[in-house]
Amino acid sequence: MSAFMPIDIDIVHVARLARIDLHPDELESYRAQLGVILEHAAKVQAYDTSGVEPISHPLGFTNAFREDEPAPSLPRDEVLSAAPEARDGYFVAPPTMETE
């Protein structure tokens, strides 16, 4: 199996999922860049991993918990200080319904 499988990338879909508004001229260059990354991942996938236990985390421990005890939150002025727009203690955002 070749490590350089042709990789089919729907770059318009990927851009949409990431909410990045790409100009048509940019699509090709992003498709190529993403292709390089995926080809690298394909190389890794080419290794024979039969007999290797799958892991979901590289650290070898489990159950890192905190106790259910409240800790102080941030002052609201500080919370909203980085917001592009705030009103009456709320963040203000553009309408969030995606309508056609």
Partner 1 sequence: MTWEPVIGIEVHVELLTSSKMFCGCRVSFGDPPNTNVCPTCLGLPGSLPVPNRRAIEWLVKIGLALNCRINEWSVFHRKNYFYADLPKNYQISQYDHPVCVDGWLDVSGPDGAFRVGIERAHMEEDTGKSIHLGEGGRIHSATQTLLDFNRAGVPLVEIVSKPDIGTPPRARAFAQELREVILTLGVSDARLEEGSMRFDANVSLRRPGGPLGTKVEVKNMNSFRSLERALGYEIDRQRKLLEAGREVVQETRHWDEEAGVTQGMRTKEVSSDYRYFPDPDLVPIVVDTAWRERIAAELPELPAQRRARYLDQGVDPQTASVLSASEPDLRNLYDQAVEAGADPRTTALWVTGEITAALRRDEQLRLPAGGELAELLTLIEQGTVSASAAKEVLAGMLAGEGGAREVAERRNLIQISDSDALSEVVDTVLAENPDAVERYRAGEGKVLGFLVGQVMRATGGRADPRLVNRLLAERLG
Q: Which region among 1-9, 22-30, 40-48, 51-59 touches partner 1 (by CB under 8 A)? A: 51-59
Q: Is 57 an interacting residue with respect to partner 1 (CB under 8 A)? A: yes
Task: List, in sequence order, every residue forming a beta bridge with 87; answer none if it has no partner.
Answer: 90
When binding is defined by CB under 8 A, the residue of 47, 53, 66, 84 that contacts partner 1 is 66
* 27 contacts: CB under 8 Å, gap ≥ 6: 11, 12, 15
Place of tokens 């394909």: 42
Residues that bind partner 1 (CB under 8 A): 13, 16-17, 19, 56-57, 59, 61-74, 76, 79-80, 87-100
